[in-house]
Amino acid sequence: MSNALWGGRFESGPDAAMQKFSTSLPYDSRLWRYDIKGSIAHVQMLARVKVLSDEDAQQIVAGLDQIASEIESGALNFEGAPDEDIHSFVERNLATRIGSVAGKLHTARSRNDQIALDVRLFLKEALSAVHDAVLEVQKVIITRADEHFDAILPGYTHLQRAQPVLLAHHLMAYFQMFERDRERLQEAYRRADVLPLGAAALAGTTFPIDRHFVAEQLGFARVSENSMDTVADRDHMLESTFALSLIGLHLSRLAEEWVLWSAPEWGFITLDDRFSTGSSIMPQKKNPDSMELIRGKSARVLGDLNTLLVLVKALPLTYNRDLQEDKEPLFDAFDTVLGCLEIARGVLETTKFHTQTMRASAGGGFSTATDVADYLVRLGVPFREAHEIVGRVVKYCEENNKELEDLALFEWQSQDERIDESVLETVGVDSSVAARQSYGGTAPDRVREQINRAKLLMREA
């Protein structure tokens, strides 16, 4: 950092180690578009309120546009730049192009509200990108649910076979998770959509600035209300990273199931070769590395959130240099989640479902036992008594190496004489699934309703 740029208070420049230690340019350089965009809106506002002349403002804007073009083309890059951060990089390069008038750009603002602006502009774009990526995953889920609407597989609790469900119902459970994720992203966007510029260092400015004009120019819905809170606030970053963490968590749960389902012990799915890898030593292996990496990378996003929480938790008002460390975990969380969503979409699009294997497993493990208990209740048997009766039937099956569907009527009646021949239909997986008619249940009619509502949400998104 050049002390000539930031004032005459110092007799010498920073120690070389201090300069290297304190620079943030290697990672906040990715904010250059937002920094220049915000600077242009700021200088146009200064001309509007007569703090700058139109001539000076035009010269500054032209210089900023030139810098943007040069960065975009690669003629100007950040490698080896001596600057502490993106703000000083832009201002130094502006001065080399238009001279001393460049120093007027920083009138009525501070790096404190400037970086707050850059991050909020970044967040708005990044949140929108993640939102759209989640939307694409949801669309794929709906498509696959439609393709295999009649497929039945076991639903699990405690990772033990519990009750048969439609594969479409299982897939739509993830749709609902991602729908809540989209809602959180929208809420995070709303709180990021607040203009911080004009708070200056912490107390506002003595110049007659027009913050609402700047907000309009930059597309912000609101203007921040308290200058101290404005430069200290990182809630929008924390909330956004929390939303990303939940997306990562949901992707990790999906990944875990795909890893299990692709194992021969399950055999429910086969991953496409494009999303699998082999072994360096075992030629027969086809590993679900795509989903394992998603499962692993979700830990990074959770770590990014934790970093931000710990970073902010004990900071007094207002700005503290600690906050320089907020951007690396923020950027990493967005980059990681976007990458995971892209891979998850590809895996979901290309996975082959082995529906016959799923169906064969759905009837095992006494998965329709609850249906038999419900059947007895409808005969007038209290549920707790029905529960005990069916428990005895299951024990009988285990002792005789049978499934519920294997039992003859006399075997049922040997456990309770009130049972009649209709029990034979009750224990079938199709009957079990079809009977779950409660709103949100796995019956085909209810699942079709879920999918139709989901399609409507996608059209409205």
The string over 10-23, giving b where at least 16 C-beta atoms fall within 10 Å of a residue's C-beta and e elsewhere, is eeeebeeeeeeeeb
CA distances from 181 to 57, 174, 270 (A): 43, 10, 27
Other beta carbons within 10 angstroms of residue 137's beta carbon come to: 25
**Does residue 354 carry a catalytic annotation?**
no
The CATH classification number of 18-107 equals 1.10.275.10
Q: What is the pLDDT of residues 140-160, one digit of tens each?
A: 999 999 999 999 999 999 999
* Average of per-residue pLDDT across 347-368: 93
Q: For this structure, is 279 an active site residue?
A: yes
Given a cut of 90, is residue 183 above it in pLDDT?
Answer: yes
CATH 1.10.260.40 fits 112-206+225-360, yes or no: no
SS3 83: coil
pLDDT in tens, 1-22: 344 455 667 777 788 888 889 8
Cα separation, 231 vs 224, in Å, equals 10
* Contact predicate 247/298, CB 8 Å: no
Upper half-sphere CA count for residue 38 (Cβ side, 13 Å): 29
β-partners of residue 223 are 195
Give the mean model confidence (pLDDT) for residues 412-428.
Answer: 89
In one-letter notation, the amino acid at residue 308 is L
Q: How far apart are alpha carbons 71 and 75 in whole angstroms? A: 6
Q: Which amino acid is present at 247?
A: I
DSSP type of residue 229: H
| pLDDT value of residue 364 | 78
The fold adopted by the segment(s) 369-427 is Ribonucleotide Reductase Protein R1; domain 1 (1.10.40)
300 has pLDDT over 70: yes
Residue 2, pLDDT score: 43
User: pLDDT averaged over the chain?
Assistant: 95
Range of lowest pLDDT (297-311, 344-358, 378-392): 378-392
Nearest partner of 347 among 256, 281, 283, 280, judged by Cα = 256
Query: Would you give the end-to-end CA distance of the chain in angstroms?
Result: 46
> What is the model's pLDDT at position 3?
46
**pLDDT band at residue 428 using 50, 70 and 90 as cut-offs:** confident
Query: Which pLDDT tens digit goes with each residue over 226-272?
Result: 999 999 999 999 999 999 999 999 999 999 999 999 999 999 999 99
Q: Which conformational region is residue 408 in: left (phi greater than 0), alpha (psi within -120 to 50 degrees), or beta? A: beta
Q: CA nearest 246: which of 183, 293, 189, 198?
A: 183
- DSSP class of residue 277 equals B
pLDDT digits (tens, 9 = 90+) for 443-454: 999 999 999 999
Give the residues across from 166 on adjacent strands: 152
Q: Find the catalytic residue in 279, 354, 367, 387.
A: 279
| Active-site choice (73, 100, 158, 280) | 158
Q: Residue 37 CA to chain centroid, in angstroms?
A: 27
Highest mean pLDDT: which of 38-47, 394-403, 404-413?
38-47
pLDDT of res. 6: 53
Residue pLDDT, tens place only, 85-127: 999 999 999 999 999 999 999 999 999 999 999 999 999 999 9
Half-sphere exposure of 9 (CA within 13 A, CB side): 4
Nearest Cα residue to 149 out of 460, 362, 350, 450: 450
Asked which of 176-180, 278-282, 409-413, 437-441 is least confident by mean pLDDT, the reply is 278-282
Domain ranges for the chain? 18-107, 112-206+225-360, 369-427
Question: Is residue 416 pLDDT above 80, yes or no?
Answer: yes
Calculate what percentage of the chain has a pLDDT beyond 70: 98
The predicted structure's pLDDT at residue 1: 38
pLDDT in tens, 314-336: 999 999 999 999 999 999 999 99
- Residue 44: its pLDDT value, please? 98
Mean pLDDT of 38-54: 98
Residues 6 or more apart whose CB falls under 8 angstroms from that of 296 comprise none
Interior angle at CA 395, CA 394 and CA 399, nearest 5: 115
Main-chain phi, psi angles of 163, to 5 degrees:
-145, 145
| Tokens (6 digits) for 131 | 């939102």
CB 363 within 8 A of CB 429: yes
